[in-house]
Chains A and B, each alone.
Chain A
Amino acid sequence: MSVRHALLALLSEGPKYGLQLRQEFEARTGEVWPLNVGQVYSTVQRLERDGLAESDPGDAAQPGPQRRYRITTAGGAELTAWLHTPPGTDAPPRDELLIKVLVALRLPEVDVPELLQAHRRHTIMQMQQYTRLKEHAGDDVSLLLVADAQLFRLESLVRWLDVAQARLRDHVPPAPAAGAGTTGGSASPDDRSGSAAPAAFGRAER
């Protein structure tokens, strides 16, 4: 979430005070991302430093909370460029759930299907909360979009857990290398807990 660009977008509507920026930011993001006023002022100061926003000349002599800020021409160009730039397509830096499952595969005492189910249950419970949020959102389009985005993200986790469970049923991961720190030997399809992580484990730990 780029607070910097979200504030530029709000300033593109006209000059605004810091407190006003905070309130409007939270309202536009469905109040799911709280923002403290210190973040707002530090971000606006950086925008000023970079020539993307400026204090309203009439308010220049006023102390912080009484100052209004407005977007500059360069700020407008920056906003347009950001809106049209696709979000980063690089692999996520660290997928915690994936790492947990890969680690669990190396630990003989862990019941991996039970672990997958625990994560599935927890994820579904989060989804229930976002669905309730949608039910009560009324015509608040920002809130509906935020909830939709979270639901699709969480749904993808559940789907991955489902596929992981099916894969573990069909494919027995290779046994751990000697000295890998686990006691698992050759694993049968019904003895997943004694199985080792696949080679991808090392790659996942970026």
Chain B
Amino acid sequence: MTGVPPLELRGVSRTYGEGAAAVHALTDVDLTVSAGELVAVMGPSGSGKSTLLTIAGSLEEPTTGDVLIEGTPLSGLRRNDRARLRRRHIGYVFQDFNLLAGLTAVENITMPLELDGVRTRQARAAGLKALEDLGLADRADAFPDELSGGQRQRIALARALVGERRLLLADEPTGALDSHSGEGVMRLIRSACRSGAAAVLVTHDAQLASWADRVVFVRDGRVVDSTPPPPGPESLLPGATGREAR
């Protein structure tokens, strides 16, 4: 994919505290995520991977370095402009879904649109379309506690991608799900990337990371390694010639 990358981190560092008590959560991190790309950030607890995600999503500011969303440096923006850019361009998915219990499935999905000034009827139409794409059209008016874990995470995913948002940031998005439901969520994230979204997934789970186009390894706040683009599945099929390898 070409064009302006949805996300770029340039020399990002984040330090908490000062002097001898300073903790360097991230040190000089460069990361570019292209449209259509799914990047997994792997590392042990305390390696800085969640800090990387919150800084990428402009929920936290780097001590030094810059974050560019769709080519726009966040450091040059005023607080309100940064919040607007975040609302319009970035979707988040967390392990515990973070759905609002008092809103129905479709209302949870449309909330970011309505906060951004989209008319209720128009937002609802977009929400219903998202639910239809997820195979959950009949659950539009269900409340979160009436949905299974897998359904709740699919709703959270729809909320993260509704509207024009093309950057998905996910922190252990399948951590609360069984393996099979988790796979369903990862298939949806892959599908969103095939449609042009960029996604960053932080996880310590190798199976989850293996869905990514590229896996970046973080340790002690630094990017220490990454995988090259993986060969196609055909390399595992010495006897298969007729199977399509897309």
User: Which residues of A approach B to under 8 Å, CB–CB?
Assistant: 26, 31-32, 34, 117, 120-121, 123-125, 127-136, 151-152, 154-155, 158-159, 162, 165-166
Q: Contact between A127 and B207 (Cβ–Cβ < 8 Å)? A: yes
CA distance A127 to B212 in the complex (A): 10
**In the complex, what residue of chain B is closest to A118 when comparing beta carbons?**
B225
Beyond A117-B225, A151-B207, A159-B206, whether A133 also contacts B215 by CB under 8 A is no
Residues from chain A with Cβ under 8 Å of B236 in the complex:
32, 129-130, 133
Residues from chain B with Cβ under 8 Å of A136 in the complex:
233, 243-246
The 6 A-B residue pairs with the shortest CB-CB distance, nearest first, are A34-B239, A127-B210, A128-B230, A133-B233, A158-B206, A132-B233
In this assembly, does B84 line the interface, its C-beta being within 8 Å of a C-beta of chain A?
no
Chain B nearest CB, measured from A124 CB (Å)? 5
Secondary structure type dominating chain A contacts: helix
CA distance A162 to B225 in the complex (A): 15
Query: Size range of the interface on B?
Result: 20 to 34
CA distance A32 to B239 in the complex (A): 7
Residues from chain A with Cβ under 8 Å of B204 in the complex:
162
Chain B nearest CB, measured from A137 CB (Å)? 8
Residues from chain A with Cβ under 8 Å of B224 in the complex:
117
User: Which residues of B approach A to under 8 Å, CB–CB?
Assistant: 42, 44, 183, 187, 190, 204, 206-207, 209-212, 215, 217, 224-225, 227-228, 230-233, 235-240, 243-246
Beyond A32-B237, A128-B210, whether A135 also contacts B190 by CB under 8 A is yes
Pairs across A and B, CB under 8 Å, 7 listed: A125-B227, A125-B228, A127-B207, A127-B210, A128-B227, A151-B210, A158-B206
CA distance A157 to B121 in the complex (A): 51
CA distance A166 to B215 in the complex (A): 20
Residues from chain B with Cβ under 8 Å of A132 in the complex:
230, 232-233
Chain B nearest CB, measured from A133 CB (Å)? 4
Beyond A135-B190, A151-B207, A158-B206, whether A129 also contacts B230 by CB under 8 A is yes
Residues from chain A with Cβ under 8 Å of B244 in the complex:
136
CA distance A117 to B220 in the complex (A): 14
Chain B nearest CB, measured from A36 CB (Å)? 10
CA distance A12 to B44 in the complex (A): 49
CA distance A34 to B212 in the complex (A): 28
Contact among A26, A117, A155 for B207, CB-based, below 8 A: A155
Pick the most buried of B183, B187, B233: most chain A CB atoms within 10 A of its CB.
B233
CA distance A34 to B237 in the complex (A): 8
Chain A nearest CB, measured from B3 CB (Å)? 25
Beyond A117-B217, A129-B233, whether A34 also contacts B238 by CB under 8 A is yes
Residues from chain B with Cβ under 8 Å of A159 in the complex:
206
CA distance A162 to B219 in the complex (A): 11
Residues from chain B with Cβ under 8 Å of A152 in the complex:
207
Q: Contact between B231 and A124 (Cβ–Cβ < 8 Å)? A: no
Residues from chain B with Cβ under 8 Å of A151 in the complex:
207, 210
Q: Contact between B206 and A123 (Cβ–Cβ < 8 Å)? A: yes
Q: Contact between A131 and B210 (Cβ–Cβ < 8 Å)? A: yes
Q: Contact between B243 and A130 (Cβ–Cβ < 8 Å)? A: no
**In the complex, what residue of chain B is closest to A151 when comparing beta carbons?**
B207
Contact among B44, B212, B225, B240 for A128, CB-based, below 8 A: B212
Q: Contact between A121 and B237 (Cβ–Cβ < 8 Å)? A: no
Q: Contact between A31 and B239 (Cβ–Cβ < 8 Å)? A: yes
Chain A nearest CB, measured from B244 CB (Å)? 7
CA distance A159 to B209 in the complex (A): 13
Pick the most buried of B44, B187, B230, B232: most chain A CB atoms within 10 A of its CB.
B230
Q: Contact between A162 and B44 (Cβ–Cβ < 8 Å)? A: yes
Q: Contact between A155 and B211 (Cβ–Cβ < 8 Å)? A: no
Chain A nearest CB, measured from B195 CB (Å)? 15
Chain B nearest CB, measured from A203 CB (Å)? 27
CA distance A71 to B44 in the complex (A): 53
Starting from the known contacts A135-B190, A165-B44, 16 additional A-B residue pairs (CB-CB under 8 Å) come to: A31-B239, A117-B225, A120-B217, A121-B225, A124-B215, A128-B211, A129-B231, A129-B236, A130-B210, A130-B233, A132-B232, A133-B236, A136-B233, A151-B207, A154-B206, A159-B206
